[in-house]
Amino acid sequence: MLAAALGAALTFGAPAALAGTAPVGPSGSPASAPAAAPKAAAPASQSATWAAGTRAYLVITAPGDSSAVRSAVTANGGTVFSSYDAIGVIVAHSASGTFAQTMRGVSGVQKVGATRTSDVPADAYNPALPANPAQSTTPAGEPVRADMSQIKADQAWAVNAGSAAVKVGILDTGMDDQHQDLAPNFNAADSVSCAYGKPDTRAGAWRDVDTHGTHVAGTIAAAKNGKGVVGVAPNVKISAVRVAEPGNSFFFAENTICGFVWAGDHGFKVTNNSYYTDPWQFNCPDNEDQAAIIEGVTRAQAYAESKGSLQVAAAGNENYDLAHKTTDTASPNDSTPVTRTITNACLDIPTELPGVVTVAANGTGTTKASFSNFGQGVIDVAAPGQDVYSTLPGGKYGSKSGTSMASPHVAGVVALMVSADPTLTPAQIRARLATQANDIPCPSDSRCTGTTANNAFFGEGQVDALKAVGGSTPPAGKYFENTADFAIGDNTTVESPITVTGVTGNAPATLKVGVNIAHTYIGDLKVDLVAPDGTVYTVHNRAGGSTDNINQTYTVNASSEVANGTWKLRVNDNAGGDTGKIDSWNLTF
């Protein structure tokens, strides 16, 4: 779900991590993984002494008093690591190879399943706090990015930028709460680590063990403070719920269960879930272990929803048809994956659970991102997921691509929707998302089945932040785009043309110029819009220093220019050592 490898899992010293939602990049090659964050000194042990061969299990029983089943866990060679009596789920650890089978015969036990095919790490019993990274600063200025203007978030802010009474839970790799763009909206009181399957409420336990969660957080609610970027809902409160384990960023079922229960108990109106529950890309009900995972996470999601929390989740990055499942080649990703035949009964969790909003990724404009999973009747809505620029740990910023980047746009729209109408239930929010989404017809691709109103690639369509806050969409202007690539060499000037026809009179005072340039060190670049009569309007003048890529929409007062004619985007590279390309650009009159 994160930023750079088509259908590939992001490796962190383990077979896979952030699987199915890992970063994807233009080349389709796996993204390089950042080094694991250094760990702080560990506190005193919180639980039993670790032993090699210890595995984690979900023991499913009736909701309510689980004391008898918990006693049976202990009597049959296990320990109770955590329990959630409200949903009848116990997280048990055992080094006994017969534990699961024995427990399945205990009175009152409905299901038992191993949640991983690897040992529980020793860190589970003595968790180290993630590092608190040193913070860098960014120059003033936060231009509106293309992804925000695409879903009309920039127009929504003028109506309602979100309410501080709305709490959003970010279930992910953690969050850098010290980041200059996140600190104003960070909610420490409701932040936690759910790694290993039980809440760790120590200050800082929620911090990022990768970069993924911090990036997602910025898309949802980076503050509108004149720095860096602006999130979809820049005034709402965000809480970090770290469900990823350090060192490998695996999201096991017990971690997700902990996160959903926490969300319900702490009043989160929406959670974002840009991951799938490791180690199974798809959990099949005819497998006893996976059946327990399905049941446990389903109960936790239903519990959160019963408390008023809506879950939004990324569809995944394998370019896979979730409505016609045939094989799974990526599971289990915590040991040795094997190829297995599957059916539609096998579920990508949590994104395919009942009640969860499943989000596909748009590429440039309203196209399908090449990596995005799809499926008629599975995808609910779509949002921008290509080259999304957002926050990174240490006060930094960067671009990532993936359905992981699309999902937080939708979570942010939900946060705006609830800010405008706090009485909305999860069911009502789902209905409004569907009716407010802007339809996207299928392209010429036989895999895209359905209608313009609802199809396999985009579901109900692309979300609309302006509609979410009750704003009215202005009449659509004429839109022109050039998607051809133009290489930008060292110390060269390149121009990409757009011929405008059929527009009466002059260009508007609010001409929108969407620019998508892939180039390392954008401080080398000067970018101009050249009108048909040769008048030059500078939109970027060697700002940004070592930042990579320009992906944003500029507003130009071109009211003195005749609209029809050939407009050009002129890019001048003023230094050696860094090159790139004009990937695409557009004009909206």
Closest CA to 253 of 373, 371, 122, 120: 120
Q: Look up 212 and say whether it is catalytic.
A: yes
pTM value surpassing 0.85: no
- How much is the pLDDT for 473? 54
Q: Look up 390 and say whether it is catalytic.
A: no
Q: How do beta strands 89-94 and 580-588 pair?
A: unpaired
Distance separating alpha carbons of residues 558 and 362, to the nearest angstrom: 29
Q: Look up 172 and say whether it is catalytic.
A: yes
* Tokens matching residue 377: 């009747």
DSSP 153: H
Out of 179, 212, 409, 540, pick the active-site residue.
Answer: 212
pLDDT single digits (tens) 115-174: 999 999 999 999 999 999 999 988 888 999 999 999 999 999 999 999 999 999 999 999
Q: At a CB cut-off of 8 Å and minimum separation 6, what does 308 contact?
A: 264, 267, 269, 425, 426
Backbone angles phi, psi at 498, to 5 degrees: -135, 125
3-state secondary structure labels for all residues of 39-54: ECCCCCCCCCCCCCCC
Residue type for position 414: V
- How much is the pLDDT for 8? 28
CA dihedral sign of residues 291, 295, 300, 304? positive
The pLDDT averaged over each successive group of 10 residues in the chain (589 residues) is 33 36 42 32 45 96 97 97 98 97 98 97 95 92 93 94 97 98 98 98 98 98 96 98 96 98 98 97 98 98 98 98 97 97 98 98 94 98 97 97 98 97 96 95 96 97 95 67 89 95 90 89 94 96 87 89 96 93 89
φ/ψ region of 575 (left if φ > 0, alpha if ψ in -120 to 50, else beta) reads beta
* Tokens matching residue 499: 């011929």
φ/ψ region of 247 (left if φ > 0, alpha if ψ in -120 to 50, else beta) reads left
Distance separating alpha carbons of residues 147 and 389, to the nearest angstrom: 9
- How much is the pLDDT for 50? 80
Out of 94, 193, 239, 404, pick the active-site residue.
Answer: 404
Out of 154, 172, 200, 328, pick the active-site residue.
Answer: 172
| DSSP helix/strand/coil, 140 | strand
* Tokens matching residue 58: 């979900």
- How much is the pLDDT for 16? 37
